[in-house]
Structure 1
Amino acid sequence: MTSKKRLVLILLAVAVLVLAALAFLKGRGGPEPADKAQSAGGTPAADAARPALTVRVARPTTAQLPITLAANGNVAAWQEASVGSESNGLRLAEVRVNVGDRVKKGQVLALFSPETVNADVAQARASLAEARASAADAAGNAARARTLAQTGAMSQQQINQYQTTEQTARARVEAAEAVLAAQQVRGRNTQVLAPDDGVISSRTATVGSVVGAGTELFKLIRQGRLEWRAEVGSAELGQLSVGLPATVTAPGGGQVQGKLRSIAPTVDPQTRNALVYVDLPGLMQSEGALRAGMFARGEFLIGQSEALTVPQVAVVPRDGFNTVMVLQDDQRVRLTRVQAGRRIGDRIEVKGEQFGPDSQVVVEGAGFLNDGDLVRVAEAAAQPGQPAPSPAPAAPAATPAR
């Protein structure tokens, strides 16, 4: 027999032995399929009953939330006074305030050189004295002329001339007095005084400069008061009224409380917005988070209403919608779309057709769940009527082969 035929016979014998062994094991009832499934990780039923996540739940609460109207606008000075020079051709000798300084009404802000004005005042006094002397002489001559009028020693024409001279001299005295008063006023104007209490917002005064009358030297925010000029659409104007409280938020996040003072009588035909003016009382320019010229946002408190709120962490955005996971009686969660509204602290207002005050929402772990997932509640004792899950029965051990 050749070696090739011998190899074929050996392979056939091995095949017969393998078939016989398989038939023997089948007849003895070999290992159950459940054992194989158990070795692969458990039965499908056991996998389906395993919770996907341990979560915490909470019930919605009802709270009174404010109804607000949002707006944007500029912060500006309530009134800004322009402080200038009332004298012409004087040299500025001293500047006593800078931008940001608080000043009182009547406080000296700057001084002009008084030499020229003092010389003019002295000349006006001398002219007044000369006019008074001339007036006294003219008055004496007129009195003597009136005495001689009864004797006939002087003609009526001469008497009239003396009387006219007296009246002219008296008028010259009055003119000299007016010139002196004007020069004295000019002398007082060498001091630039604050017209009101407030804060210096701008300064153009420079020591040594010669300025003309009416030249602006300082700008003053009267009483340090600011106002918020908010733009409100014409459709929302009916919700506002004078006296409503407003909260103005600065770009840095600081908030200032104000009150609606007035509403503009006209609406911009281009933007269809109207200006409303909110007083920010007691806010000095050098204090707080707001400055004149800032662009700020704010809210008007219109009223209050009752709302259903949940913790903000319970609301999860999915596919462009706000959703919450609502716990069902079978310990599974249902994905529910809601409308998010106002916020108060760490809670947010929610509205939805399939969402009510008796619902239980997942607070922690909602972002890791899908619709229909089985969950385990961390406070299991707080869920009445839900028995503790019993452990799955152990699979029977395989009988060893004899």
Structure 2
Amino acid sequence: MVIFISIRRGAEPAVAAPVTSSLSVEVVQARRQLWPQLLYASGALAPWQEAVINAETGNLRIASLEADVGSRVNKGQLLATLASDSVLAEERKQVALVAQAVANLEQARSNDRRAKVVGQGGALSEQQREDYRIKVALAEADLAGARAELQSTRIRLRQTRIVAVDDGIVSARTALLGKVVAAGDELFRLVRDGRIEWQAELDARQLAQVQAGQVARLTLPGGQSVEGRVRLVSPTLNTKTSRALVYISLPSDSPAQAGMYASGQIELPAREALTVPDTAVILRDGRSYVFTLNDDMHVVQRPVTVGRRLHQAVEILGGLEEPARIVRAGGAFLNDGASVTVVQSQVAQP
């Protein structure tokens, strides 16, 4: 059996449909800006300095307490008193001994004057006259000793008043009413001036970039943000952790409290950065990419190395050549080589 196939002459071949863009995109160019360098750190909050107030005299009972934990005190303010009855009695005794020593000295001087007059007539030997002069010297020494004992007793009497050694906030109190204290017992502990500081921990590489006076910002556990300044950079590193402390002074009226743990950042001098909008960077398979636009309106997926992030922008450390047109947003919907249509940007470039 023969099969005949009819062919129509003049039939036109089918025309390929025009290729449409897969996505309309906005494009921007990378910009160079001066950005502050930030060092991220964490560390404990601790008093700037503490003052320990001890009992300077012993074997006395605490008679009253005038301050408690949290009290804000001024230098010289009364914190507690010790029972002073026995010391007052000792003072009166020493006053009487001083008066007795004064009287003995006057008697010795009077005898010496009479011996001098009698001795001029030859009635006393030189040895006897020397004895009177020695008695005057001994009486003077006794008076000086009595006055020193009186001064010592009065110092002990003043020490029965426990006072603040500086302005600050009472952070601890071990003094108990009625307790008999010994000399050297700790009674109170103060945070000097009420100042708290942040002790940020840094490694050796970070530490080399920090200097006194630099601004630091930290976030407290309650979410409050506090600004401070670097006061001191530790000259040594901990041999066990290989980290060092940077001491950052905080305002005295900040909500920071000793014992808190905070994280934050230290601002270093500004450095030039090549930046793109953060929406231009996409993450695929654990790597960062941007899409650049070629003259033929096709995009190219380029791997980049990113650095700092600031104000909705990202620093590009490598992988991007200038000048290049970069897709601002929507890279997650693009593939390498996709055709796009460019629309005018309605958002100011960061």
Alignment map for 1:323-342 (pairs within 5 Å): 323-342=289-308
* Structure number with bigger Rg: 1
- 1:67–1:303 CA contact under 8 A, matched in 2: yes
Preserved contact between residue 333 and residue 375 of structure 1 (Cα < 8 Å): yes
**Higher share in helix:** 1
1:143 corresponds to 2:103: no
- Which of 73, 79, 91 aligns to 1:121? It is 91
Aligned position for 2:60: 90
Measure, in 1, the Cα distance between the counterparts of 2:257 and 2:196: 8
SS in 1 for 2:324: coil
Alpha-carbon offset, residue 227 of structure 1: 4.0
- 1:220-231 aligned within 5 A: 220-231=190-201
Is the counterpart of residue 257 in structure 1 residue 195 in structure 2?
no
- Please identify which structure carries the higher strand content: 2
Which amino acid in the other structure matches residue 272 of structure 2? E
1:5 aligns with none
1:86 Cα deviation from its structure 2 partner? 0.9
After superposition, the C-alpha distances for 1:15-54 in whole angstroms (9 at most, x for unaligned) are xxxxxxxx9xx99x9xxxx9xxxxxxxx9965x8344444
Amino acid at match of 1:256: E
Q: 1: distance between equivalents of 2:112 and 2:345?
A: 122
CA distance in 2, matches of 1:293, 1:120: 45
Equivalent runs, 1:213-362 vs 2, <5 Å: 213-240=183-210, 242-252=211-221, 254-264=225-235, 266-273=236-243, 275=244, 277-280=246-249, 283-284=251-252, 287-362=253-328
Distance change >3 Å, CA 137–CA 351, structure 1 → 2 = closer
Counterpart AA for 2:230: K
How far did 1:65 drift? 1.0
Which deviates more, 189-198 or 220-229?
220-229
Cα separation, partners in 2 of 1:299 and 1:381, compared to 1, 3 Å: closer
CA distance in 2, matches of 1:355, 1:378: 23
SS in 2 for 1:172: helix
Unmatched segments (≥5 aa) in structure 1: 1-22, 35-42, 383-402
Q: Which runs of structure 2 are paired with 1:153-172 in the superposition (5 Å)?
A: 153-172=123-142
Let me know the Cα RMSD of the aligned residues. Answer: 3.4
Work out whether residues 231 and 249 of structure 2, in 8 Å CA contact, stay in contact via their aligned partners in 1: no
Name the stretch that deviates more: 82-91 or 242-251: 242-251
Structure 1 range deviating more: 74-83 or 296-305: 296-305
Instruction: Note if contact 2:305-2:317 (Cα within 8 Å) is conserved in structure 1.
Output: yes
Q: Report the count of equivalent residues.
A: 338
Query: Scaled by the length of structure 2, what TM-score is found?
Result: 0.81
* Equivalent residue letter for 1:261: L
SS in 1 for 2:61: strand
Q: Are 2:215 and 2:229, in contact at CA under 8 Å, matched by a contact in 1?
A: yes
3-state DSSP of counterpart to 1:350: strand
1:369 maps to a residue whose letter is L
Give, in angstroms, the shift of residue 250 of structure 1: 3.6
Partners of 2:232 and 2:346 lie apart in 1 by 56
CA contact (8 A) 2:282 2:289 kept: yes
Q: Which residue of 1 aligns with 2:149?
A: 179
Give the SS at the match of 1:176.
helix
SS in structure 1 opposite 2:227?
Answer: strand
SS at structure 2 position matched to 1:76: strand
Partner Cα distance (2:291, 2:117) in 1: 120
> Residues of 1 paired with 2:121 and 2:318: CA distance?
119
Q: Contact 2:216 / 2:248 at 8 angstroms: preserved in 1?
A: no
**Contact 1:327 1:362 survives alignment (8 Å):** no
Question: Take 1:208 and 1:243, find their aligned partners in 2: how far apart are those partners?
Answer: 48
Q: Tell me how far apart the structure 1 counterparts of residues 25 and 175 of structure 2 sit (CA, whole Å).
A: 70
Unaligned runs of 5+ in 2: none
How big is the shift at 1:321? 0.3
Match of 2:177 among 196, 202, 207: 207
Q: Distance in 2 between matches of 1:235 and 1:327?
A: 39
Within the alignment, does 1:110 sit opposite 2:80 as a pair? yes
Q: TM-score, normalised by structure 1?
A: 0.72
Residue 324 of structure 1: how far off its partner (Å): 1.9
Q: What amino acid is the match of 1:258?
A: R
